C-alpha cells in the first residue's frame, strides 16, 4: 500500500484545559497509514512524563506539524499523548492509552504515565517561556484530574535511569535526583531539567489553583511522632488508603509537605516512601 500524506490537519474537537487550548486529533481515528499504536493502559496511571522536542523553524503551529508527521509515518515509533508549544496543544493519544516516548519498552514510563512533549528551542525568550508555562498548566490539569500531585511528575531521563536499574519508582525520596541526573543516552527535557524543581513548583501552584493538594518538595525536616497509632496514607488525603500505622513515637524524615484544602490538613511525605502522615501538632512535633 502506498503511503497517504496528510495535508494540514483540522482538529476533531477543541477543549480548554487550565487555560491551554487543546486540539484533539486522535491517531486511532485517522490511521490511514496503519502506523502501530500503543495499547490501552492496563496498569494504574502513576504520573506525567515531561519531554522536550525541538521547535520547528518557520512553523507557526509546531504541534500540528508533529501530529501530521506522526500520521505520515515520519516519527519512527514515537507516540506521545500531547505536543505543546507557546500557542496550544495537540492531543494524539487518548489519556487511557500507553505512550512510546520514554525508551523503557514495557516499563512504567511508557505503560503508566501520560507523556507531554514540550516544544522549545531554549530556556529563554517569550515563546520558550510560554511553552514551558503551557506544559505546566496542562500537566497540572492532568495530575489534578487523576488525583495526583506535582510529586508524580517525571522526566524522560528518569525512566532511562530506572531502566538501567539505578533507581525505581518506589524510591520516592530520590525521584528528583534521578529526574535531573545526566544520562549517556539522552538528557530530556533538555530545557526544563536545569530548573526542574522550579517547574515542579509551577505545576504545584496551578494544581493548588484548581483546588487540589499543594505539594512543595525540596528541603527535608524531621518530626517526632506523638500519636501512638498514626496512620500512614497512600496519598495526602484523609480519604486515601491506609498503608500502615506508626506506633513507635519515633523520629521521621519528611521530604515534602502537602496541604489538603478540604480538610485543612497539612501532610508530610515520609522519606522511606511508605506514604504520608498528618503534620498536625496533635500528631507530630517538628524538631
Does 4 fall in a domain?
A: no
Instruction: Supply the pTM of this predicted model.
Output: 0.80
User: Are 251 and 134 contained in the same domain?
Assistant: no
Domain at 265, CATH number: 2.30.30.40
| Measured distance CA(173)–CA(161) in Å, rounded | 15
Strand ranges across the sheet with 230-233: 242-246, 230-233, 276-278, 265-270, 251-260, 214-225, 284-286
- Per-residue confidence (pLDDT) for residue 263, from 0 to 100: 84
Yes or no: say if 8 and 90 are a contact pair by the CB < 8 Å rule.
no
User: Are 112 and 251 contained in the same domain?
Assistant: no
| Among 262, 120, 110, CA closest to 199 | 120
- Per-residue confidence (pLDDT) for residue 216, from 0 to 100: 61
User: Are 120 and 156 contained in the same domain?
Assistant: yes
- Per-residue confidence (pLDDT) for residue 2, from 0 to 100: 75
- Outline where DSSP puts E strands in 39-78: 47-54
Mean of all residue pLDDT scores within the chain: 93
pLDDT > 90? residue 287: no
DSSP string, 197-237: HHHHHHHHHHHHHTT--EEEEEEEEEEEE--TTEEEESSSS
User: Are 222 and 203 contained in the same domain?
Assistant: no
User: 209, 226, 254 — which closes off a domain?
Assistant: 209
- Could you report the per-residue pLDDT of 40-61, keeping only the tens digit for each? 999 999 999 999 999 999 999 9
Q: Average pLDDT for residues 14-25, to the nearest whole number?
A: 98
User: Are 200 and 104 contained in the same domain?
Assistant: yes
- Could you report the per-residue pLDDT of 120-141, keeping only the tens digit for each? 999 999 999 999 999 999 999 9
- Calculate Rg over the CA atoms of the chain: 20
| Measured distance CA(40)–CA(94) in Å, rounded | 9
User: 209, 226, 251 — which closes off a domain?
Assistant: 209
User: Are 204 and 241 contained in the same domain?
Assistant: no
Q: Average pLDDT for residues 8-24, to the nearest whole number?
A: 97
Does 248 fall in a domain?
A: yes
Yes or no: say if 75 and 53 are a contact pair by the CB < 8 Å rule.
no
User: 158, 178, 209 — which closes off a domain?
Assistant: 209
SS3 46: coil
- Per-residue confidence (pLDDT) for residue 1, from 0 to 100: 57
| Measured distance CA(259)–CA(21) in Å, rounded | 29
User: Are 203 and 234 contained in the same domain?
Assistant: no
Does 250 fall in a domain?
A: yes
Does 226 fall in a domain?
A: yes
- Per-residue confidence (pLDDT) for residue 148, from 0 to 100: 86
| Structural domain total, the chain | 2
| Measured distance CA(127)–CA(196) in Å, rounded | 19
User: Are 141 and 248 contained in the same domain?
Assistant: no
Does 174 fall in a domain?
A: yes
- Could you report the per-residue pLDDT of 68-86, keeping only the tens digit for each? 999 999 999 999 999 999 9
- Per-residue confidence (pLDDT) for residue 230, from 0 to 100: 97
User: Are 17 and 51 contained in the same domain?
Assistant: yes
| Measured distance CA(153)–CA(47) in Å, rounded | 6
What phi and psi, each to the nearest 5 degrees, are found at residue 282? -70, -25
- Could you report the per-residue pLDDT of 194-204, keeping only the tens digit for each? 999 999 999 99
- Per-residue confidence (pLDDT) for residue 241, from 0 to 100: 94
| Measured distance CA(107)–CA(110) in Å, rounded | 6
Does 230 fall in a domain?
A: yes
User: Are 184 and 248 contained in the same domain?
Assistant: no
Q: Average pLDDT for residues 18-42, to the nearest whole number?
A: 97
User: Are 130 and 36 contained in the same domain?
Assistant: yes
Structural domain harbouring 235: 214-286
Does 5 fall in a domain?
A: no
- Per-residue confidence (pLDDT) for residue 213, from 0 to 100: 66
Better-scored residue on pLDDT, 219 or 113: 113
Amino acid at each position: 500500500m502506498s503511503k497517504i500524506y496528510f495535508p494540514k490537519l483540522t482538529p476533531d474537537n477543541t477543549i480548554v484545559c487550565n487555560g491551554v487550548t487543546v486540539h484533539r486529533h486522535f491517531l486511532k481515528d485517522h490511521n490511514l497509514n496503519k502506523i502501530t499504536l500503543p495499547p490501552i493502559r492496563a496498569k494504574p496511571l502513576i504520573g506525567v512524563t515531561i519531554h522536550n522536542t525541538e521547535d520547528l523553524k518557520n512553523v507557526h503551529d509546531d504541534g500540528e506539524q508533529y501530529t501530521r508527521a506522526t500520521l505520515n509515518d515520519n516519527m519512527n515509533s514515537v507516540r506521545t499523548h500531547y505536543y505543546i508549544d507557546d500557542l496550544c496543544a495537540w492531543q494524539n493519544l487518548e489519556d487511557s492509552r500507553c505512550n512510546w516516548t520514554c525508551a523503557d519498552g514495557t516499563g512504567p514510563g511508557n505503560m503508566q504515565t501520560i507523556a507531554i512533549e514540550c516544544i522549545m528551542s531554549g530556556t529563554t525568550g517569550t515563546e520558550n517561556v510560554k511553552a514551558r508555562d503551557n506544559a505546566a498548566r496542562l500537566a497540572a490539569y492532568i495530575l489534578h484530574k487523576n488525583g495526583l500531585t506535582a510529586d508524580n511528575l517525571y522526566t524522560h531521563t528518569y525512566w532511562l535511569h530506572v531502566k538501567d536499574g539505578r533507581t525505581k519508582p518506589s524510591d520516592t525520596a530520590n525521584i528528583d535526583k534521578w529526574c535531573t541526573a545526566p544520562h549517556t543516552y539522552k538528557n530530556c527535557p533538555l530545557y526544563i531539567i536545569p530548573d526542574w524543581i522550579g517547574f515542579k513548583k509551577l505545576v504545584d501552584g496551578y494544581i493548588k489553583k484548581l483546588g487540589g493538594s499543594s505539594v512543595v518538595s525540596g528541603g527535608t525536616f524531621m518530626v517526632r511522632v506523638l500519636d501512638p497509632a498514626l496512620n500512614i496514607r497512600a496519598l495526602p488525603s484523609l480519604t486515601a488508603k491506609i498503608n500502615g500505622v506508626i506506633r513507635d513515637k519515633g523520629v521521621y524524615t519528611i521530604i515534602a509537605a502537602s496541604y489538603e484544602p478540604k480538610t485543612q490538613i497539612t501532610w508530610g511525605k515520609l522519606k522511606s516512601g511508605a506514604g504520608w502522615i498528618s503534620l498536625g501538632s496533635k500528631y507530630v512535633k517538628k524538631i
